[in-house]
Amino acid sequence: MPKKLNVGVIGCGFMGRTHSNAYLQVGHFFEREHKPVLKACCARIEEKEKLEKFANTWGYESLEFDWKELLERSDIDLIDVCVPNVLHHDLVIAAAKAGKMIVCEKPLAMNVREAEEMVAAVEQAGVANMVSFNYRRVPAISLAKQVIDEGRVGRPFHYRATYNQDYTISADVPQGGMALWRLDAKVAGSGVTGDLLAHSIDTAEWLNGPIQKVVAHTETFIKERKHAETGKVEPVTIDDACMFLALFANGSMGTFESTRYARGRKNYSTFEINGENGALMFDLEDPHILQYFKYVDPATGKKIEDHLTGWQRINVTNFEHPYMKHWWVPGCTIGYEHTFINGLADFLASLEGGPAFHPTVRDALHTQRVCEAVLDSAKRGAWVEIPV
Ligand SMILES: NC(=O)c1ccc[n+]([C@@H]2O[C@H](COP(=O)([O-])OP(=O)(O)OC[C@H]3O[C@@H](n4cnc5c(N)ncnc54)[C@H](O)[C@@H]3O)[C@@H](O)[C@H]2O)c1
């Protein structure tokens, strides 16, 4: 008999949908003892109609309009935080105190102080937890991790990441309010640094180890925007664009770029790592492809003397590739939503004696430290060290 895992999801927006889909789908593709049950969803009373529609679409058994009441329910095992960043701190701490398992969207918090308090509460409660840096579960990115761990890249010299979008170029886009909270620092914590670069940093540290210090520049191209809630024109306090240099503990150098002003780019996230023995390149606009340059033959340890040496485009859809044996037949691709399902499958496996789940809130605290160091550096125009 499967063990029921009763889930309460807070937030019925973009992430509420991707997570609901993952809870419904995971058991269809991965054999797990736990069977997630969509027990309750929660949003503010102002969103009553939207929440009712959401509950019907995904099949939630009940609705709540106050997250405190949801947390008091004894029939909920896991709380899933899919709300704007400003709410993560209070919700995660309260969920930990209530002894619930926790799934929290990224970035973990508004700042390091909040993130430290969250980690302390979660670790004191000893509850299973996951932060939704879902890109680790793109099969091609997981394969990159495997290739690096196998030593095929060798000593790394360079890591470069971009995460670019273009949806805030118009000065007419207001800030704040339900759909536009990402432009309001009081709700988002920061702009592209916490929203987009947090993903790039999580992936980079997973693949290439900890970042030790950074120097950054940020820009806010449009200085004032109308606030959607007050109707007043107010200063914009988020970073619209951010570039930073990083030094990794392994001695390699990194460059990171993110902007919401890259005309033509919608969710363009890339990384490249160049090592002594090989190199890897990934582009989220071509998500099932991992590019690999083999310089040294891993079997002999010798340089490949071959007139066909060059970048290989590996179509990461075979059964031997990460996660793919759970999906369709080789050559058939999977997409964005599957990263959340793959992550949930790993989380459930960790509850059932499988490998420990990462990233946890503690892992996400380090990402938060890098984000805060980046913002601090941009303010001060100086290198900033990141505590381990
Ligand atoms: N992992 C990813 O790739 C990814 C992608 C997008 C967003 N996110 C993160 O997910 C979180 C939510 O983002 P989103 O895009 O789903 O936002 P969204 O604006 O689409 O949805 C947010 C939802 O929060 C809910 N909400 C707001 N205040 C609430 C309250 N007081 N109580 C209960 N519910 C409340 C509303 O129901 C709203 O629908 C953010 O932390 C964001 O950074 C992660």
pLDDT averaged over 10-residue windows placed end to end, the chain, 388 residues? 94 98 98 98 97 98 98 98 98 98 98 98 98 98 98 97 97 89 96 98 98 98 94 95 98 98 98 98 98 93 90 98 98 97 98 98 98 98 94
Strands 384-385 and 78-81: unpaired
- d(C-alpha 383, C-alpha 381), whole Å: 7
Q: How far away, in angstroms, is 117 Cα from ligand 1 center?
A: 21
346 lines ligand 1 (CB under 6 A): no
What sign for the dihedral angle of Cα 312, 315, 319, 324?
positive
Query: Which pLDDT does position 179 carry in this prediction?
Result: 79
In the chain, CATH 3.30.360.10 sits at 135-385
CATH classification number, 3-133, choose in 1.10.1740.10, 3.40.50.720, 3.30.420.10, 2.115.10.20: 3.40.50.720
pLDDT attached to residue 276: 97
Q: Is 87 in the pocket of ligand 1 (CB under 6 A)?
A: yes
Ligand 1 geometric centre to CA of 322 (Å): 28
* CATH number for the domain formed by residue range(s) 135-385: 3.30.360.10
State residue 32's pLDDT score: 98
CA dist., res. 361 & res. 385, Å (int): 21
pLDDT for 306 equals 87
State how far the Cα of 259 lies from the Cα of 166, in Å rounded to an integer: 7
Phi, psi of 203 (to 5 degrees): -65, -45
Q: pLDDT value at position 299?
A: 86
Look at residue 1 in the predicted model and tell me its pLDDT.
Answer: 77
User: Tokens 């009553």 map to which residue?
Assistant: 48
Alpha carbon distances (Å) from 377 to 246, 356, 372, 385: 11, 34, 8, 9
CA of 340 to the centre of ligand 1 (A): 15
Ligand 1 center to 83 CA (angstroms): 3
| Token pair for 277 | 């023995």
The structure tokens listed for 232 are 């007043």
10 lines ligand 1 (CB under 6 A): yes
CB of 14 sitting under 6 A from ligand 1: yes
CB of 82 closer than 6 angstroms to any ligand 1 atom: yes
- Choose one of 18, 44, 80, 83 to mutate for the ligand 1 pocket test, by most ligand atoms within 8 angstroms of C-beta: 83
Model pLDDT, residue 139: 98
C-beta of residue 182 within 8 angstroms of C-beta of residue 195:
yes
Instruction: Please tell me the predicted confidence (pLDDT) of residue 240.
Output: 98
Q: 6 pairs with which residues across the strands?
A: 37
Strand pairing report for 129-131 and 101-104: parallel
Burial class of residue 150 (count of CB atoms within 10 Å of its CB; 0-12, 13-18, 19+): exposed
Ligand 1 pocket test: pick from 15, 135, 182, 338 the residue with the most ligand atoms within 8 Å of its Cβ: 15
Residues of the chain with CATH 3.40.50.720: 3-133
Q: Rounded to two decimals, what is the model's pTM?
A: 0.98
Residue nearest to atom 6 of ligand 1 (CA): 15
Task: Report pLDDT for 388.
Answer: 78
